[in-house]
Structures are given as structure tokens and as C-alpha cells.
Amino acid sequence: ALILLAMSNDVVSTGAKLASVDFEVFGRVQGVCFRMYTEDEGHKLGVTGWVKNTRQGTVIGQVQGPPDKVKEM
């Protein structure tokens, strides 16, 4: 089972509405290509951000982009 914690912020910049979500995923997420999958999905959706493993065995990251695409991510 995976558990996802997320915190969301909507940002208005130069007239375009953007969403930014910080996340941490718990469960079996290391050693199963989770980071690569996350990066590939982000590229497909046109969002930006970062993702990395932690020493605690979780994966943390941030996603930014149009609110509907961030929500889909």
C-alpha cells in the first residue's frame, strides 16, 4: 500500500494560474522505478518539478504547472 502526503499552493504569476504541490510517498517506492515513472508522467502532462529518494525509504518531490495537470499528476 502506498500513502501519499501532499501540500498544495495555488500561485498567480503574470496572469497565469499555476499550482505547486510538495509530496512524500510512503510504501514500496524505492527500487521499483518509481522516480523514473514519475518523471515520465510529468513530461507527458507538461508539468515540471523534481523527485528524489530519502534515507527513510520514502520518495519526496514537487510538481508545478497548470492546476488541472498537477491534479492529474
CA distance 5 to 69: 18
CA distance 57 to 28: 8
| pLDDT per residue as tens digits for the range 9-61 | 555 555 678 899 999 999 998 899 999 999 999 999 999 999 999 999 999 99
**Domain of residue 62, CATH code:** 3.30.70.100
CA distance 73 to 65: 10
Question: Residue 49 in contact with residue 64, Cβ under 8 Å?
Answer: yes
Range of the domain at 52: 3-72
User: Would you please indicate which residues are annotated as catalytic (active-site) residues?
Assistant: 35, 53
Number of domains in the chain: 1
The beta strand positions in the chain, using DSSP E, are: 3-13, 16-26, 48-53, 59-65
The pLDDT-based confidence of 3 (bands split at 50, 70, 90) is low
Residue 45 has what pLDDT? 96
CA distance 63 to 38: 10
